[in-house]
Amino acid sequence: MSVSGIEIQIPRNALALLMVAQAMVVGPHSQQLSPWIMGVCLICGLWRWMVYQGRWDFPRRWLKGSLVVASVIAVALSGTNTFSLEMATSLLILAFALKLVEMKSVRDAYLVIYLSYFIIATEFLFSQSIGMAAYELLAAVTVTAAMVGMNQMHTKVRPMASFKLASALIFQTLPLVLVLFLFFPRIAPLWSIPLPGGAKTGISDTVTPGDIAKLSRSEEIAFRVEFKSKIPPTSQLYWRGLVYSHFNEGAWTQARRLHKGAEEGVIWGGEVAKIMSQGSSQRRQPQRYSRGAPVSYEVLLEPTQSKWLFGLALPVAAHNQETQFGQNDIGLTRDFRLLSRKPVGALLRYQVDSYPEVPMDLTLPRWLKERETRLPVNDNPRMRAYARQQFAKSNGIESFAQNILLDIRKGQYRYTLSPPTLPRKNSIDNFWFDTQAGFCSHYAGAFVYMMRAAGIPARMVGGYQGGEFNPRGKYFVVRQMDAHAWAEIWVSGRGWVRYDPTSAVAPERIEHGLDAALSSEDLSILSAFTKARISNFAGLADVIYVIDSIGHNWNLWVVGYDPDVQAKYLSQLIGDISPGKVAIVLLVGASLSMGLVVIALFWRRRKNRMLPVLKIFIRFSKGVKRFGFVRESSESPAQFIARIDPSQHALVAQLDHLLYNSSKSSSIELNLLRKRLRKLQVAVALGLIKEYETA
């Protein structure tokens, strides 16, 4: 190899560090990407390692080419949406991994380093938690350390030194990072990024109770709620998210538009409040009912990738007062749910005022009544007959509903997370009369079906129930495992009334949360984390509360710092926001922050601070210099004093003691010294002491 070839080779120590850095930045992506991509990464890493050891050779050109083509085809075939974020990331990571096996020169290595920084940034598209931020900070340090390693001398291989320098570099950027975070304009993307598609956890818009043999319970957080007003009892916390009006083949789905005339509008933003106050919409808010006191709360919704928002009935004026967000982006649907205009791809904060006493739909339009009573024909005949028979026996809708709840309570029904599966056809018959075991959507579904069979408008509502109060942070945590389904029936004169059949079979579920209602068999399917959380071991629970409230505050202050909040603070700072002003703020902030770093560095390199006793003595020497007493540099302080005035034994002894015999001098001693020296200085100044000896 030519001399120049050797020069541009990657230093061996830097290569090892670089590979560690690569593994670190790719690592978190393994959650989103298909396993085969991770496999490719591992193989490429292994290959490069063998090349590093000198056992294998770099792949030939044709092999590299075919690998690239094969990976592109594989990504296309792997079933992710074209032009989705997953696909883009897959391609990026694949290219990144393949770059490993052709990384020969320094130039290649720098390319990989810059790509690593980019990949760190892409990870935040998927997760913005505090843990991820900390991890990526570490990854950034490692990548920087690899870059430092590239510039180390070949003869001086010290990976820990490059780590130290990299940490220092990253640490020094923090003030600037803070300034940029606070003031740099958040430019809306020129094109919208296709976000990770599909709801992955929690609620979905189709519920098929019979298909689920084992309901997986995830402790992932759905949202956190901070109440601004009095907190309602847990049994009243029904977070409505979806309304399932359509039933077919054992599956409940959201309502479809029945015909063209059907009124289906979503009212957006501020409009709701206007309608509420004017009472102009008959169907939503007749004036003669007292509105009662609202329940005010703020929801911090974790990304769901869907448009549904959650709120207590009846949500009004949902928006963020601070940022004016929601004026046009949050709407109220016809079935009184909150809806976001765009899928929630990042943490969303919104404030809601709910009026639990205001009835929903005092009068029911015909089309709606038709929709909420419709049932497929030739399904569940036993149930149909049973419902009609029961309805005939009871007097009135509400007593009929109560009777059904009584049936559930008195019968052999049990609540379980692992119910037997049911056939698509006649699923409700099967459940109600045969298996008699299920969870919330089984009971809610059967209840709604019975109501509809008797001609009563009814629908299933999905969302979350309850939540866990965090005494540390004074907020509620609602987890995916709190997902719940219940029923609403329409009663003339009261509107839609909530009935929760699950409370009949497992009242503990509503009063104390899911855990209380579970059998030991059900408990065994919960994760170890959940078990730890619900166990009564106070210390551990407290730790978990603290950790969660840290995450909550991170969401509030860091992730929640969106363009609107930024604009608000900026306008407080500089008045009207103009590009020029923002630029000035940025410039000033950046120079201030960098100046801070410079000062800190300067401060550290400064000479050791002078001892106070030396300071006092030097001031004295300067004072007497004017009167002809100049200390020779080889003269010790004690000698100097003795030369000026041989009778100053106490002063000489004290000076000698403070300088050379005590590790720390008290302020009393220092004051005494100062006083004595000042006295001597005055004596010198007054000419009482003549210079009798010249050096």
Catalytic residue among 246, 335, 429, 440, which? 440
Distance in angstroms (rounded) separating the CA atoms of residues 234 and 237:
5
Cβ atoms < 10 Å from Cβ of 680: 21
Check: CB of residue 311 under 8 Å from CB of residue 299. yes
Name the residue nearer to other proteins (CB basis): 31 or 663.
663
Asked if 636 interacts with other proteins (CB under 8 A), we say: yes
Closer to other proteins by CB, 598 or 618: give it.
618
646 binds other proteins (CB under 8 A): no
Q: Is 406 in the site for other proteins (CB under 8 A)?
A: no
Residue closer to other proteins by CB (options 161, 642) is 642
- Residues 320 and 277: beta-carbon distance below 8 Å: no
When asked if residue 642 is in the footprint of other proteins (CB under 8 A), the reply is no
Span of 44-52, 242-250, 590-598, 610-618 interacting with other proteins by CB under 8 A: 610-618
Cβ distance to other proteins smaller for residue 415 or 629: 629
366/609 with CB nearer other proteins: 609
Contact 419, 437 (CB under 8 A): yes
Distance (Å, whole) CA 484 – CA 496: 18
412 lies in the binding site for other proteins (CB under 8 A): no
Non-local (6+) Cβ contacts of 351 within 8 A are 228, 296, 297, 298, 299, 318, 319, 320, 321, 326
Residue range at the interface with other proteins (CB under 8 A); choices 146-154, 268-276, 359-367, 661-669: 661-669
User: Is 27 in a helix, a strand, or coil?
Assistant: helix
Residue 321 CB neighbour total at 10 angstroms: 11
Residue 650 binds to other proteins (criterion: CB under 8 A):
no
Q: How far apart are CA 409 and CA 504, in angstroms?
A: 5
CB of 630 to other proteins, least distance (A): 12
**Tokens 């490059």 label which residue?**
162
Q: Does residue 685 interact with other proteins by CB under 8 A? A: no
Stated as kind and residue range, the H or E segment containing 331 is strand 330-332
Say whether residue 639 binds other proteins (CB under 8 A).
yes
Q: Which is nearer to other proteins, 322 or 632 (CB)?
A: 632
Under the binding rule (CB under 8 A), the answer on residue 662 touching other proteins is yes
Under the binding rule (CB under 8 A), the answer on residue 659 touching other proteins is yes
Q: Determine, following the binding rule CB under 8 A, whether residue 40 of this chain makes contact with other proteins.
A: no
Query: How many angstroms from the chain centroid is the CA of residue 150?
Result: 35
Contact string 566-605 vs other proteins (x = CB under 8 A): ----------------------------------------
Residue 495 pairs in a beta bridge with 491
440 in catalytic set:
yes
| Residue 669 found at the interface with other proteins (CB under 8 A) | no
Cis peptide before 314 (omega within 30 of 0): yes
Give the phi and the psi of residue 486 in degrees, each rounded to 5: -145, -175
Q: Given the complex with other proteins, which of 303 and 612 has the nearer CB atom?
A: 612
638 forms part of the interface with other proteins (CB under 8 A)? yes
Residue 299 or 673 having the CB closest to other proteins? 673
- Distance between CA 356 and CA 315 in Å, rounded? 8
**Smallest gap, in angstroms, from Cβ of residue 626 to other proteins?**
19
The catalytic position among 335, 429, 500, 515 is 500
Which of 249, 322, 542, 632 binds other proteins (CB under 8 A)? It is 632
- Per CB under 8 A, the segment of 92-100, 127-135, 311-319, 637-645 that binds other proteins is 637-645
- Rule CB under 8 A: is residue 536 a binding residue for other proteins? no
Which of 205, 370, 562, 656 binds other proteins (CB under 8 A)? It is 656
List the structure tokens of 140.
């950034």
Q: Which residue has the tokens 């709910």?
A: 354
Q: Which of 336, 347, 332, 345 is nearest to 306 (CA)?
A: 345
Q: How far apart are CA 49 and CA 16, in angstroms?
A: 8
Calpha distance 411→553 (Å, rounded): 47
* Nearer CB in complex with other proteins: 63/611: 611
Sign of CA dihedral 450, 454, 456, 457: positive
CA 660 to chain centre: 58
Active site includes 500? Answer: yes
Q: What is the DSSP letter of 80?
A: P
Catalytic residue among 29, 442, 484, 552: 484
- Residue 624's nearest CA partner among 681, 673, 583, 580 is 681
Smaller CB separation from other proteins, 134 or 618: 618
Our finding on whether 610 is near other proteins (CB under 8 A) is yes
Q: Is 192 in the site for other proteins (CB under 8 A)?
A: no
Which of 370, 635, 669, 691 binds other proteins (CB under 8 A)? It is 635
Using CB under 8 A, which of 660, 671, 675, 685 touches other proteins?
660
Give the shortest CB-632-to-other proteins separation in angstroms: 8
Interaction of residue 617 with other proteins, rule CB under 8 A: yes
Considering the rule CB under 8 A, would residue 386 count as an interface residue with other proteins? no
Give per-residue burial for 482-519: e unless 16+ CB within 10 Å, then b.
bbbbbbbbbbeeebbbebbbbbbbbbebbeebbbebbe
Q: Measure the CA–CA gap between 499 and 446, rounded to whole angstroms.
A: 12
Catalytic residues, by residue number, are 440, 484, 500
- What are the residues binding other proteins (CB under 8 A)? 610-611, 614, 617-618, 632-639, 656, 659-663
